[in-house]
Amino acid sequence: MSKKFGLFGGLLGLLAFAPLVFEDYGLGLMIGIVSYAILAQAWSLFSGPTRYISLATVAFYGVGAYVVAVLNEDLAYPLILLIAVGTGLVMSLAVGIATLRLAGVYFVIFSFGLAELVRQLITWYEVNVSGTLGRYIFLPFEARHIYWMLLVLAGVTFAIAWWIRNSRTGMALRVIGEDEDVASHVGINITRTKLLLFAISASLMTLVGAIQAPRWVYIEPSIVFNPTVSFLTVIMALLGGPHRLLGPICGVIPLFLLFEWLSANFPNHYSILLGGVFILIVFLLPKGVLEFVDRFRLGGAAK
Amino acid sequence: MTDRRRVLRTTAFAVAALTAATSLFTGQSIASADTVRIGYAVSKTGPNSAGTGITTIPNYVLWVKDVNEAGGLKLPDGSRRMIEVIEYDDRSSSEEAVRAVERLAVQDKVDFILPPWGTGFNLAIAPLMDKFGYPQLAVTAVTDMAPKFVQRWKKSFWFLGGGSDYSKALAEILGSAHKSGQINNKVAVVSVADGFGIDLIKSARPAFKEAGLELVFDKTYPLGTKDFNSLLTEAKTSGADTFVAFSYPPGTFGMAKQSKVLGFNPKVMYLGVGVGFPVFTKIMGPDVAGVMSLGGVDPNSQDFKDYAARHTAATTNSPDFWASSVTYASLQTLQQAIERVGLDRDAVAKEISTGEFDTILGKIKLEDNQLRKLWWTGQWQDGSFAAVSPNSRDGASSVVIPKPEWSQ
């Protein structure tokens, strides 16, 4: 066990030196990978065991970015991050209480609508109350600072994911995912457990948005609430396999690099190729990369 | 059998992944010394692609074609080098735009980077352009903050003015029309709840008041609204002679069409982005006459006519009457700066900042890194979108108020 921890810590430490090795573009790639790794891991935290497909990722991500945009001139940076987490937490609790009783496809639809709802609320507020739309973030951060902060957050996220898997809560969640009726019969407080996980997952997503926002300088609702972020998160997590600790990261790295390569080399056919890649993934790896590797390694015995 | 297929599949996947990874990180640096590499990352897909496709990309394509057909970019020693284009799609995402600029600067090592479309994206890449030392000729970014940005990013240039320039020019026109008794002092305004609409309405409120006008109707509507009937009906019954919409396409088109259907025929009709698009005349037919908007051109300018003809021939669409010609002029500025001082980016930035350039907009010279000699208001007259403000400038047409009635 301690060996695994040592390995994990060592890997993070090694990654921390990336800014010394890569030039700006490489670092930009690393930022993208780490931020999607956190998003996918946070998404799997809740959606993996419960099997609730959430498309609300960008709602929290965008709120995090917005908190930074609103407060960046008035408060110290650590305080802003705290407020961002707090906002994500409160929002996810409010949303969770209202919706986690919804089942299956209704939850998917609601979570997709949530991002649009938040975006319209912020727009309404900015137009009618503050009278500006579009805010500036001038924080003295360079790419490497953002990268380091994201790396720390990634460490925290993986630690939380590992801890939950090995705790009673994780066990309870898996039971809920298998069969809610059984779960309630064995005395699991279903709503409370789901709510807890939803809130943790959402707070992490909020932080990713908050940390990444200084990279964009200018923010408006249509920029930060881009639904693509939600979709990519889901696809990456599903490719890797959301039921496993290392699943999400195994989906993020290949897909992120693939997207990057496609958009660099085929700027005019990107969307078509992307669709083709998705179809291939669903046909070739319906259960995720890790499952596939296992099946291959065990020579079909897993069947 | 299944095992073999599995092996095949895995191998195929691994090979594909490996190829992807290697070509990604090595980049295709097939740079030959005798070309000038120009890169841009623009929104080919996503919500920004409409504006990019009308104003930005066609002018980049046209300019590169014009330059290469003439034998390439001229350098100070008289030699010519062809332009090699490297283009990316930012998919209307700020993060992609930022990374694409990093890629252009670090991987592709291009000589110059052309800006994306839209205020937000120009600002998103501005710190990087500054860091890597590339001059940024931002055209499609309407912002009142430009003087501050110039302080922050010394190599940034702003070519399209700020929201208050446009709303003050409009207030001036309306104010003098009111004084001469052509219209009453009541104005109905709607604005789109988006950076552009909010910027303009915010500066228009005090400007209108100062011009002795009264805002009797002042509402915003969400981006993407299709049905404007209730807004237009309210504006119609407000008793205002003037209707102003700080709108975006396709809302602009919808509003114009629905006004006709409603028989809403104000003496002054001023609509936002889209009025200067070639498609607007197709939508409105002869009823474009008298409709006002931002921008405008000198209809008698031979330079503009030639440019429009080349634009139409090269891209199958005619240019818009606001930012298109300014975009092309910004590229001519870059071209002439390179011709005078070569490919050194610092020297080029300095030359753009201080030099005078001969463009399709006439002779231009930037003031504090901003193009200030612009047309703020235009009006459709005799089949072209004629500039009417500032009216003291050469080539300005005089504004027609009231506008002709709808024909049907």
Domain ranges in chain B are 35-162+301-365, 163-299+376-389
Query: Which range has highest mean pLDDT (B48-52, B221-225, B311-315)?
Result: B311-315
Inform me whether the pLDDT recorded for A299 exceeds 70.
no
Range B282-310 average pLDDT: 93
Top residue of B15, B22, B94 to mutate, by most chain A CBs within 10 Å, is: B94
Residues of A in contact with B100 (CB under 8 A): 263
- Yes or no, beta carbons of B103 and A28 under 8 Å apart: yes
Q: Are B83 and B67 in contact (CB under 8 A)?
A: yes
Q: What is the pLDDT of residue B155?
A: 95
Rounded (5°) CA angle A202-A206-A212: 145
Residue B350: count other Cβ atoms within 10 Å of its Cβ: 16
Which residue, A273, A121, A147, A300, is CA-closest to B193?
A: A121
Question: For chain B, what is the mean pLDDT?
Answer: 89
Q: What is the pLDDT of residue B6?
A: 54
Tell me the two tokens of residue A292: 């596939």
Class of domain B35-162+301-365: alpha beta
Instruction: State whether residue A291 is helix, strand or coil.
Output: helix
- Yes or no, beta carbons of B44 and A267 under 8 Å apart: yes
B273 or A286, higher pLDDT: B273
Instruction: State whether residue B12 is helix, strand or coil.
Output: helix
Inform me whether the pLDDT recorded for B2 exceeds 80.
no
Could you check whether B35-162+301-365 and B163-299+376-389 share the same CATH topology? yes
Out of A81-90, A149-158, A239-248, B109-118, least confident range: A239-248
Q: What is the pLDDT of residue B18?
A: 47
Q: What is the pLDDT of residue B61?
A: 96
Query: pTM (2 decimals)?
Result: 0.84
B200 touches chain A (CB under 8 A): no
pLDDT in tens, B56-104: 999 999 999 999 999 999 999 999 999 999 999 988 888 889 989 999 9
Sign of the C-alpha dihedral computed for residues B252, B257, B263 and B265 taken in this order: positive
- Yes or no, beta carbons of B88 and A264 under 8 Å apart: yes
User: Which residues of chain B from 39 to 78 reach within 8 Å of chain A, CB to CB?
Assistant: 44-45, 47
Residues of A in contact with B92 (CB under 8 A): 226
**Cβ neighbours of residue A171 closer than 8 Å, sequence gap 6 or more:** none
pLDDT in tens, B232-243: 999 999 999 999
Residues of B in contact with A226 (CB under 8 A): 92-93
Shortest CA distance from B126: residue in chain A: A217
Q: What is the pLDDT of residue B27?
A: 44
What's the CATH number for B163-299+376-389? Answer: 3.40.50.2300
Range B287-302 average pLDDT: 93
Inform me whether the pLDDT recorded for B325 exceeds 70.
yes
- Yes or no, beta carbons of B88 and A220 under 8 Å apart: no
Shortest CA distance from B7: residue in chain A: A296
Q: Are B236 and B187 in contact (CB under 8 A)?
A: no
Q: Are A213 and A146 in contact (CB under 8 A)?
A: no
Top residue of B24, B87, B143, B202 to mutate, by most chain A CBs within 10 Å, is: B24
Residue B238: count other Cβ atoms within 10 Å of its Cβ: 16
A276 or A145, higher pLDDT: A145
Strand-pair category, B136-138 with B156-158: parallel
- Yes or no, beta carbons of B103 and A284 under 8 Å apart: no
| pLDDT band per the 50, 70, 90 thresholds, residue B374 | very high
pLDDT in tens, B4-18: 555 445 545 544 544
Q: Are B27 and B108 in contact (CB under 8 A)?
A: yes
